[in-house]
Structure 1
Amino acid sequence: MGAGEAASAGPRVGVLALQGDFREHAHVLARLGAHVSLVRRPEELAAVDGLVIPGGESTVMDKLARAYGLAEPLRAAIAAGMPVYGTCAGLIMLADTILDAIAGQQTLGGLDVVVRRNAFGSQNQSFETDLDIPALGAEPVHAVFIRGPVVESVGPRATPLATLADGRVVAVEQGNLLGTSFHPEITGEYRFHEYFLDRVRSRSLSRSRNG
Protein backbone atom coordinates (compact mmCIF):
# COMPACT_ATOMS: atom_id res chain seq x y z
CA MET A 1 0.00 0.00 0.00
CA GLY A 2 1.42 3.40 -0.98
CA ALA A 3 1.45 6.50 1.20
CA GLY A 4 -1.60 7.93 -0.55
CA GLU A 5 -3.57 4.73 -0.14
CA ALA A 6 -2.62 4.53 3.55
CA ALA A 7 -3.80 8.09 4.10
CA SER A 8 -7.11 7.45 2.36
CA ALA A 9 -7.70 4.36 4.49
CA GLY A 10 -7.24 6.36 7.67
CA PRO A 11 -4.49 5.94 10.25
CA ARG A 12 -4.27 2.61 12.04
CA VAL A 13 -4.92 3.42 15.69
CA GLY A 14 -5.26 1.08 18.63
CA VAL A 15 -7.05 1.61 21.92
CA LEU A 16 -5.65 -0.27 24.90
CA ALA A 17 -8.62 -2.42 25.91
CA LEU A 18 -7.53 -4.04 29.16
CA GLN A 19 -9.93 -1.99 31.31
CA GLY A 20 -11.65 1.39 31.36
CA ASP A 21 -13.62 3.42 28.83
CA PHE A 22 -11.85 2.13 25.72
CA ARG A 23 -15.10 1.84 23.74
CA GLU A 24 -15.74 5.58 24.01
CA HIS A 25 -12.30 6.36 22.59
CA ALA A 26 -12.75 3.84 19.80
CA HIS A 27 -16.05 5.51 18.85
CA VAL A 28 -14.48 8.98 18.70
CA LEU A 29 -11.48 7.82 16.66
CA ALA A 30 -13.71 5.98 14.20
CA ARG A 31 -15.87 9.09 13.82
CA LEU A 32 -12.69 10.98 12.90
CA GLY A 33 -11.82 8.50 10.16
CA ALA A 34 -9.27 6.28 11.88
CA HIS A 35 -9.09 2.54 11.35
CA VAL A 36 -9.50 1.47 14.99
CA SER A 37 -8.61 -1.79 16.68
CA LEU A 38 -8.67 -2.89 20.31
CA VAL A 39 -5.28 -3.82 21.74
CA ARG A 40 -4.88 -6.52 24.38
CA ARG A 41 -1.88 -8.49 23.11
CA PRO A 42 1.59 -7.68 21.72
CA GLU A 43 0.70 -8.76 18.18
CA GLU A 44 -2.25 -6.35 18.18
CA LEU A 45 0.01 -3.51 19.32
CA ALA A 46 2.44 -4.30 16.51
CA ALA A 47 -0.32 -3.78 13.93
CA VAL A 48 -1.10 -0.12 14.80
CA ASP A 49 0.65 3.20 14.20
CA GLY A 50 -0.65 4.98 17.31
CA LEU A 51 -2.29 4.08 20.61
CA VAL A 52 -4.77 5.58 23.05
CA ILE A 53 -4.62 4.54 26.72
CA PRO A 54 -8.07 5.25 28.19
CA GLY A 55 -9.34 6.32 31.57
CA GLY A 56 -10.11 3.67 34.13
CA GLU A 57 -8.08 2.27 37.02
CA SER A 58 -4.35 2.64 36.48
CA THR A 59 -3.43 -0.05 39.01
CA VAL A 60 -5.59 -2.62 37.21
CA MET A 61 -4.24 -1.60 33.80
CA ASP A 62 -0.68 -1.95 35.09
CA LYS A 63 -1.30 -5.46 36.44
CA LEU A 64 -3.12 -6.62 33.32
CA ALA A 65 -0.51 -5.15 30.96
CA ARG A 66 2.15 -7.19 32.72
CA ALA A 67 -0.04 -10.31 32.89
CA TYR A 68 -0.77 -10.12 29.13
CA GLY A 69 2.90 -9.56 28.25
CA LEU A 70 2.13 -6.06 26.98
CA ALA A 71 4.12 -3.87 29.36
CA GLU A 72 7.53 -4.27 27.74
CA PRO A 73 6.23 -4.05 24.15
CA LEU A 74 4.39 -0.87 25.15
CA ARG A 75 7.56 0.63 26.63
CA ALA A 76 9.47 -0.31 23.50
CA ALA A 77 6.84 1.24 21.22
CA ILE A 78 6.90 4.47 23.21
CA ALA A 79 10.70 4.60 23.09
CA ALA A 80 10.59 3.97 19.33
CA GLY A 81 8.36 7.01 18.80
CA MET A 82 4.85 5.58 18.50
CA PRO A 83 2.31 8.38 19.15
CA VAL A 84 0.43 7.60 22.36
CA TYR A 85 -2.38 9.58 23.99
CA GLY A 86 -3.32 8.84 27.59
CA THR A 87 -6.44 10.18 29.34
CA CYS A 88 -6.81 10.13 33.14
CA ALA A 89 -5.48 6.65 34.04
CA GLY A 90 -3.66 6.71 30.70
CA LEU A 91 -1.81 9.84 31.80
CA ILE A 92 -0.74 8.03 34.97
CA MET A 93 0.48 5.10 32.89
CA LEU A 94 2.64 7.42 30.77
CA ALA A 95 4.15 9.40 33.65
CA ASP A 96 7.72 8.74 34.70
CA THR A 97 6.79 9.16 38.37
CA ILE A 98 3.54 8.58 40.33
CA LEU A 99 2.68 10.01 43.72
CA ASP A 100 0.23 8.05 45.90
CA ALA A 101 0.87 4.87 43.92
CA ILE A 102 -0.11 1.57 45.48
CA ALA A 103 2.64 -0.85 46.50
CA GLY A 104 4.31 -2.34 43.43
CA GLN A 105 2.53 -0.13 40.91
CA GLN A 106 4.54 0.50 37.76
CA THR A 107 4.19 2.89 34.84
CA LEU A 108 5.12 2.65 31.20
CA GLY A 109 6.91 5.98 31.48
CA GLY A 110 8.03 8.33 28.75
CA LEU A 111 6.44 11.58 29.95
CA ASP A 112 8.85 13.67 32.01
CA VAL A 113 6.25 14.49 34.65
CA VAL A 114 5.30 13.67 38.21
CA VAL A 115 1.60 12.76 38.46
CA ARG A 116 -0.56 12.40 41.58
CA ARG A 117 -3.29 9.76 41.46
CA ASN A 118 -6.87 10.72 42.39
CA ALA A 119 -5.77 14.31 42.97
CA PHE A 120 -9.34 15.58 42.85
CA GLY A 121 -10.76 13.17 45.41
CA SER A 122 -13.44 10.51 45.08
CA GLN A 123 -15.81 10.04 42.13
CA ASN A 124 -18.55 12.12 43.77
CA GLN A 125 -16.13 15.07 43.72
CA SER A 126 -15.90 14.97 39.93
CA PHE A 127 -16.34 18.31 38.19
CA GLU A 128 -16.41 20.10 34.84
CA THR A 129 -14.73 23.28 33.71
CA ASP A 130 -13.62 25.15 30.58
CA LEU A 131 -9.92 25.31 29.76
CA ASP A 132 -7.99 27.67 27.51
CA ILE A 133 -5.70 25.53 25.35
CA PRO A 134 -4.02 27.69 22.68
CA ALA A 135 -2.59 24.63 20.89
CA LEU A 136 -6.16 23.59 20.02
CA GLY A 137 -7.50 26.99 19.00
CA ALA A 138 -9.25 29.96 20.55
CA GLU A 139 -12.42 28.18 21.68
CA PRO A 140 -12.18 26.83 25.25
CA VAL A 141 -12.14 23.08 25.81
CA HIS A 142 -14.91 21.75 28.05
CA ALA A 143 -13.20 19.27 30.37
CA VAL A 144 -14.69 16.61 32.64
CA PHE A 145 -12.61 15.38 35.58
CA ILE A 146 -13.55 12.01 37.14
CA ARG A 147 -11.19 11.00 39.96
CA GLY A 148 -8.54 12.51 37.75
CA PRO A 149 -4.81 12.79 38.34
CA VAL A 150 -2.94 16.08 38.30
CA VAL A 151 0.55 16.83 37.01
CA GLU A 152 2.44 17.94 40.12
CA SER A 153 5.60 18.90 38.24
CA VAL A 154 6.74 19.07 34.63
CA GLY A 155 10.30 18.19 33.70
CA PRO A 156 12.35 19.99 31.06
CA ARG A 157 11.46 17.54 28.27
CA ALA A 158 7.68 17.97 28.65
CA THR A 159 5.44 20.95 27.87
CA PRO A 160 2.22 21.93 29.69
CA LEU A 161 -0.78 22.41 27.40
CA ALA A 162 -3.49 23.33 29.93
CA THR A 163 -3.80 24.45 33.53
CA LEU A 164 -6.65 25.00 35.94
CA ALA A 165 -7.32 28.44 37.40
CA ASP A 166 -5.14 27.52 40.39
CA GLY A 167 -2.19 26.77 38.11
CA ARG A 168 -2.28 22.98 38.33
CA VAL A 169 -1.29 21.30 35.06
CA VAL A 170 -3.93 19.00 33.54
CA ALA A 171 -2.65 18.46 29.99
CA VAL A 172 0.90 17.90 28.78
CA GLU A 173 2.81 16.77 25.72
CA GLN A 174 6.29 15.53 24.96
CA GLY A 175 7.41 14.45 21.51
CA ASN A 176 5.17 11.55 20.51
CA LEU A 177 3.27 11.54 23.81
CA LEU A 178 0.14 13.40 24.89
CA GLY A 179 -1.68 13.20 28.22
CA THR A 180 -4.76 14.77 29.80
CA SER A 181 -6.19 14.50 33.31
CA PHE A 182 -9.71 14.77 31.90
CA HIS A 183 -11.98 12.83 29.53
CA PRO A 184 -12.62 14.53 26.16
CA GLU A 185 -13.99 11.23 24.81
CA ILE A 186 -17.20 11.59 26.86
CA THR A 187 -18.06 15.23 26.10
CA GLY A 188 -18.06 15.36 22.31
CA GLU A 189 -14.82 17.35 22.44
CA TYR A 190 -12.80 15.83 19.60
CA ARG A 191 -9.94 18.29 19.28
CA PHE A 192 -7.49 16.34 21.43
CA HIS A 193 -8.15 13.21 19.39
CA GLU A 194 -7.66 15.20 16.18
CA TYR A 195 -4.41 16.61 17.60
CA PHE A 196 -3.28 13.06 18.36
CA LEU A 197 -4.31 11.73 14.94
CA ASP A 198 -2.31 14.47 13.23
CA ARG A 199 0.78 13.04 14.95
CA VAL A 200 -0.08 9.51 13.89
CA ARG A 201 -0.52 10.60 10.27
CA SER A 202 2.71 12.61 10.28
CA ARG A 203 4.72 9.71 11.66
CA SER A 204 3.14 7.22 9.25
CA LEU A 205 3.89 9.51 6.29
CA SER A 206 7.46 10.02 7.43
CA ARG A 207 8.00 6.28 7.80
CA SER A 208 6.49 5.65 4.35
CA ARG A 209 8.84 8.17 2.76
CA ASN A 210 11.87 6.77 4.57
CA GLY A 211 10.89 3.14 4.26
Structure 2
Amino acid sequence: MAVGVLALQGSFNEHLAALRRIGVKGVEIRKAEQLDNITSLIIPGGESTTMAKLAELHNLFPALREFVRMGKPVWGTCAGLIFLADKAVGQKIGGQELVGGLDCTVHRNFFGSQIQSFEAELPVPELAAKEGGPPSFRGVFIRAPAILEVGLGVEVLASVSIKEESAEPESKVIVAVKQGNILATAFHPELTIDSRWHSYFMKMSPSNNEITAASSSSSNYYEDPESYLYNKQPKTDLPIYE
Protein backbone atom coordinates (compact mmCIF):
# COMPACT_ATOMS: atom_id res chain seq x y z
CA MET A 1 0.00 0.00 0.00
CA ALA A 2 1.40 3.39 -0.99
CA VAL A 3 0.66 7.05 -0.44
CA GLY A 4 -1.42 8.56 -3.24
CA VAL A 5 -0.90 12.01 -4.70
CA LEU A 6 -3.79 13.43 -6.71
CA ALA A 7 -2.19 14.04 -10.11
CA LEU A 8 -4.73 16.03 -12.07
CA GLN A 9 -2.77 19.29 -12.11
CA GLY A 10 -0.33 21.24 -9.94
CA SER A 11 2.71 20.25 -7.89
CA PHE A 12 2.10 16.50 -7.60
CA ASN A 13 5.59 15.63 -8.89
CA GLU A 14 7.16 17.72 -6.13
CA HIS A 15 5.17 15.85 -3.47
CA LEU A 16 6.24 12.52 -4.96
CA ALA A 17 9.87 13.66 -4.80
CA ALA A 18 9.47 14.77 -1.18
CA LEU A 19 8.02 11.36 -0.28
CA ARG A 20 10.98 9.63 -1.94
CA ARG A 21 13.35 11.71 0.19
CA ILE A 22 11.89 10.14 3.34
CA GLY A 23 11.83 6.65 1.85
CA VAL A 24 8.11 6.47 1.09
CA LYS A 25 6.53 5.23 -2.13
CA GLY A 26 4.06 7.64 -3.69
CA VAL A 27 1.74 6.91 -6.61
CA GLU A 28 -0.12 9.23 -8.96
CA ILE A 29 -3.90 9.14 -8.57
CA ARG A 30 -6.15 10.05 -11.49
CA LYS A 31 -9.03 7.56 -11.26
CA ALA A 32 -11.51 6.82 -8.48
CA GLU A 33 -10.69 3.10 -8.37
CA GLN A 34 -7.03 3.87 -7.60
CA LEU A 35 -8.06 5.22 -4.19
CA ASP A 36 -8.74 1.63 -3.07
CA ASN A 37 -5.02 0.84 -3.21
CA ILE A 38 -3.56 3.62 -1.05
CA THR A 39 -3.29 4.22 2.69
CA SER A 40 -3.41 8.02 2.55
CA LEU A 41 -3.77 10.83 0.04
CA ILE A 42 -2.12 14.17 -0.70
CA ILE A 43 -4.07 16.78 -2.68
CA PRO A 44 -1.40 19.16 -4.03
CA GLY A 45 -1.34 22.84 -4.78
CA GLY A 46 -2.26 24.12 -8.22
CA GLU A 47 -5.11 26.02 -9.80
CA SER A 48 -8.09 25.02 -7.69
CA THR A 49 -10.77 25.77 -10.28
CA THR A 50 -8.95 23.74 -12.94
CA MET A 51 -8.39 20.87 -10.52
CA ALA A 52 -12.08 20.90 -9.59
CA LYS A 53 -13.16 20.77 -13.23
CA LEU A 54 -10.82 17.85 -13.93
CA ALA A 55 -11.98 16.03 -10.81
CA GLU A 56 -15.59 16.50 -11.90
CA LEU A 57 -14.76 15.30 -15.41
CA HIS A 58 -13.28 12.08 -13.99
CA ASN A 59 -16.14 11.70 -11.47
CA LEU A 60 -13.68 11.79 -8.59
CA PHE A 61 -15.64 13.83 -6.06
CA PRO A 62 -17.83 10.98 -4.68
CA ALA A 63 -14.78 8.75 -4.23
CA LEU A 64 -12.73 11.54 -2.62
CA ARG A 65 -15.53 12.35 -0.17
CA GLU A 66 -15.82 8.67 0.73
CA PHE A 67 -12.05 8.44 1.25
CA VAL A 68 -12.20 11.33 3.72
CA ARG A 69 -15.32 9.91 5.43
CA MET A 70 -13.59 6.56 5.98
CA GLY A 71 -11.00 8.29 8.16
CA LYS A 72 -7.97 7.71 5.96
CA PRO A 73 -5.36 10.50 6.26
CA VAL A 74 -5.70 13.26 3.69
CA TRP A 75 -3.41 16.30 3.33
CA GLY A 76 -4.29 19.30 1.22
CA THR A 77 -1.67 21.93 0.33
CA CYS A 78 -2.74 25.33 -1.05
CA ALA A 79 -5.42 24.38 -3.62
CA GLY A 80 -5.76 21.09 -1.76
CA LEU A 81 -6.70 23.06 1.36
CA ILE A 82 -9.50 24.74 -0.60
CA PHE A 83 -10.71 21.32 -1.80
CA LEU A 84 -10.97 20.00 1.76
CA ALA A 85 -12.68 23.02 3.32
CA ASP A 86 -16.38 22.85 4.14
CA LYS A 87 -16.75 26.46 2.94
CA ALA A 88 -14.73 28.65 0.57
CA VAL A 89 -15.13 32.36 -0.17
CA GLY A 90 -13.51 34.63 -2.75
CA GLN A 91 -14.20 32.17 -5.53
CA LYS A 92 -14.76 32.84 -9.19
CA ILE A 93 -18.29 33.33 -10.52
CA GLY A 94 -20.12 30.03 -10.20
CA GLY A 95 -17.76 28.78 -7.51
CA GLN A 96 -16.31 25.30 -7.55
CA GLU A 97 -17.19 21.92 -6.12
CA LEU A 98 -15.49 21.01 -2.83
CA VAL A 99 -14.63 17.68 -1.22
CA GLY A 100 -15.24 19.07 2.27
CA GLY A 101 -14.66 17.38 5.60
CA LEU A 102 -12.53 20.11 7.18
CA ASP A 103 -14.59 22.34 9.48
CA CYS A 104 -13.27 25.71 8.35
CA THR A 105 -13.87 28.65 6.04
CA VAL A 106 -11.12 29.34 3.50
CA HIS A 107 -10.52 32.49 1.47
CA ARG A 108 -9.42 31.30 -1.95
CA ASN A 109 -6.96 34.13 -2.80
CA PHE A 110 -6.45 35.76 0.58
CA PHE A 111 -2.88 36.91 -0.13
CA GLY A 112 -3.54 38.29 -3.60
CA SER A 113 -2.35 37.47 -7.09
CA GLN A 114 0.60 35.45 -8.36
CA ILE A 115 3.01 38.41 -8.16
CA GLN A 116 2.16 38.80 -4.47
CA SER A 117 3.51 35.35 -3.63
CA PHE A 118 6.01 35.32 -0.77
CA GLU A 119 7.98 33.28 1.74
CA ALA A 120 7.79 33.56 5.54
CA GLU A 121 9.27 31.89 8.61
CA LEU A 122 6.37 30.27 10.45
CA PRO A 123 6.47 29.25 14.12
CA VAL A 124 5.58 25.52 14.16
CA PRO A 125 5.75 24.28 17.77
CA GLU A 126 3.67 21.15 17.13
CA LEU A 127 5.75 20.14 14.09
CA ALA A 128 9.03 20.75 15.95
CA ALA A 129 7.81 18.77 18.97
CA LYS A 130 6.86 15.76 16.83
CA GLU A 131 9.58 15.86 14.15
CA GLY A 132 12.45 17.74 15.79
CA GLY A 133 14.42 20.43 14.03
CA PRO A 134 14.08 24.20 14.25
CA PRO A 135 11.04 25.87 15.84
CA SER A 136 10.09 27.51 12.54
CA PHE A 137 9.35 26.41 8.98
CA ARG A 138 10.03 28.34 5.78
CA GLY A 139 6.59 28.61 4.23
CA VAL A 140 6.27 29.19 0.48
CA PHE A 141 3.01 30.99 -0.35
CA ILE A 142 2.05 31.04 -4.04
CA ARG A 143 -1.22 32.84 -4.78
CA ALA A 144 -2.17 31.34 -1.48
CA PRO A 145 -5.43 30.87 0.40
CA ALA A 146 -5.87 31.43 4.13
CA ILE A 147 -8.16 30.02 6.79
CA LEU A 148 -10.59 32.61 8.13
CA GLU A 149 -12.51 30.52 10.67
CA VAL A 150 -12.16 27.07 12.22
CA GLY A 151 -14.53 24.82 14.13
CA LEU A 152 -14.04 23.64 17.70
CA GLY A 153 -12.46 20.35 16.64
CA VAL A 154 -9.78 21.95 14.46
CA GLU A 155 -6.22 22.26 15.80
CA VAL A 156 -4.27 25.29 14.55
CA LEU A 157 -0.69 24.30 13.65
CA ALA A 158 0.65 27.51 12.11
CA SER A 159 -0.28 31.15 11.54
CA VAL A 160 1.42 33.97 9.66
CA SER A 161 1.57 37.62 10.67
CA ILE A 162 0.00 40.14 8.33
CA LYS A 163 0.30 43.92 8.42
CA GLU A 164 -2.66 45.98 7.31
CA GLU A 165 -2.12 49.35 5.65
CA SER A 166 -3.92 50.98 8.55
CA ALA A 167 -1.91 51.79 11.63
CA GLU A 168 -3.32 48.82 13.52
CA PRO A 169 -0.88 46.31 15.06
CA GLU A 170 -0.01 43.20 13.11
CA SER A 171 -2.63 40.46 13.11
CA LYS A 172 -2.32 36.77 12.31
CA VAL A 173 -4.13 34.51 9.89
CA ILE A 174 -4.25 30.70 10.10
CA VAL A 175 -2.27 28.80 7.45
CA ALA A 176 -2.02 25.22 8.79
CA VAL A 177 -4.56 23.05 10.64
CA LYS A 178 -5.33 19.47 11.59
CA GLN A 179 -8.71 17.88 12.24
CA GLY A 180 -8.83 14.14 12.87
CA ASN A 181 -7.56 12.47 9.71
CA ILE A 182 -7.22 15.76 7.77
CA LEU A 183 -4.10 17.92 7.53
CA ALA A 184 -4.15 21.19 5.56
CA THR A 185 -1.53 23.83 4.77
CA ALA A 186 -1.95 27.05 2.80
CA PHE A 187 1.72 26.94 1.79
CA HIS A 188 3.87 24.48 -0.20
CA PRO A 189 6.14 22.26 1.96
CA GLU A 190 6.93 20.18 -1.12
CA LEU A 191 8.90 23.11 -2.58
CA THR A 192 11.49 23.09 0.22
CA ILE A 193 14.16 20.63 1.36
CA ASP A 194 12.56 20.44 4.81
CA SER A 195 10.58 17.16 4.77
CA ARG A 196 9.12 17.37 8.28
CA TRP A 197 5.54 18.02 7.12
CA HIS A 198 5.64 14.91 4.94
CA SER A 199 7.03 12.85 7.82
CA TYR A 200 4.37 14.30 10.15
CA PHE A 201 1.64 13.37 7.70
CA MET A 202 2.93 9.82 7.34
CA LYS A 203 2.58 9.27 11.07
CA MET A 204 -1.13 10.16 10.97
CA SER A 205 -1.91 6.64 9.76
CA PRO A 206 -1.22 3.59 11.98
CA SER A 207 -0.75 1.51 8.83
CA ASN A 208 2.22 3.69 7.91
CA ASN A 209 4.12 3.01 11.15
CA GLU A 210 6.49 0.49 9.59
CA ILE A 211 7.31 2.84 6.74
CA THR A 212 7.99 5.83 8.98
CA ALA A 213 10.07 3.76 11.39
CA ALA A 214 12.24 2.54 8.53
CA SER A 215 12.65 5.96 6.96
CA SER A 216 13.17 8.05 10.10
CA SER A 217 16.61 6.65 10.88
CA SER A 218 17.94 7.35 7.39
CA SER A 219 16.06 10.55 6.52
CA ASN A 220 16.01 12.60 9.72
CA TYR A 221 17.59 15.88 8.66
CA TYR A 222 17.48 17.28 12.18
CA GLU A 223 19.25 14.78 14.44
CA ASP A 224 21.88 17.42 15.29
CA PRO A 225 20.01 20.60 16.34
CA GLU A 226 23.11 22.70 15.67
CA SER A 227 23.60 21.57 12.08
CA TYR A 228 20.30 21.54 10.19
CA LEU A 229 20.56 20.40 6.61
CA TYR A 230 19.46 23.71 5.18
CA ASN A 231 22.20 25.50 7.13
CA LYS A 232 24.85 23.23 5.62
CA GLN A 233 23.96 24.35 2.11
CA PRO A 234 23.98 27.78 0.46
CA LYS A 235 20.64 29.53 0.41
CA THR A 236 18.86 28.79 -2.85
CA ASP A 237 15.87 30.46 -4.40
CA LEU A 238 12.84 28.18 -4.24
CA PRO A 239 11.41 26.03 -5.66
CA ILE A 240 13.89 23.26 -4.98
CA TYR A 241 13.28 20.00 -6.79
CA GLU A 242 14.87 16.62 -6.34
**Deviating runs (4+, > 3 A) in structure 1?**
none
Which residue does 1:127 correspond to in 2?
118
Which residue does 2:60 correspond to in 1?
70
Q: What is the number of residues matched between the two proteins?
A: 195
Which residue does 2:105 correspond to in 1?
114
- Bigger Cα displacement from structure 2, 73-82 vs 56-65: 56-65
Q: Which amino acid counterpart does residue 147 of structure 1 have in structure 2?
A: R
* 1:1-211 correspondence to structure 2 within 5 Å: 12-102=2-92, 103-137=94-128, 138-165=134-161, 166-200=171-205, 202-203=206-207
Deviation per residue, 1:7-55 (Å, 9 max, x gap): xxxx610000001010000110122111211000012111100000000
Give RMSD over aligned pairs. Answer: 1.5
8 Å CA contact retained: 2:124, 2:158: yes
Deviation per residue, 1:153-177 (Å, 9 max, x gap): 0111211111112210000110000
Which residue does 1:3 correspond to in 2?
none
Scaled by the length of structure 2, what TM-score is found?
A: 0.78
User: Which structure would you say has the larger Rg?
Assistant: 2
Same amino acid, percent of matched pairs: 47
CA distance in 2, matches of 1:59, 1:106: 9
Question: Structure 2: any 5+ residue segments left out of the alignment?
Answer: 129-133, 162-170, 210-242
- CA displacement at 1:122 relative to structure 2: 0.8
Question: Structure 1: any 5+ residue segments left out of the alignment?
Answer: 1-10, 206-211
Q: Which amino acid counterpart does residue 127 of structure 2 have in structure 1?
A: L
Which residue does 1:6 correspond to in 2?
none
Scaled by the length of structure 1, what TM-score is found?
A: 0.89
- CA displacement at 1:204 relative to structure 2: 5.1
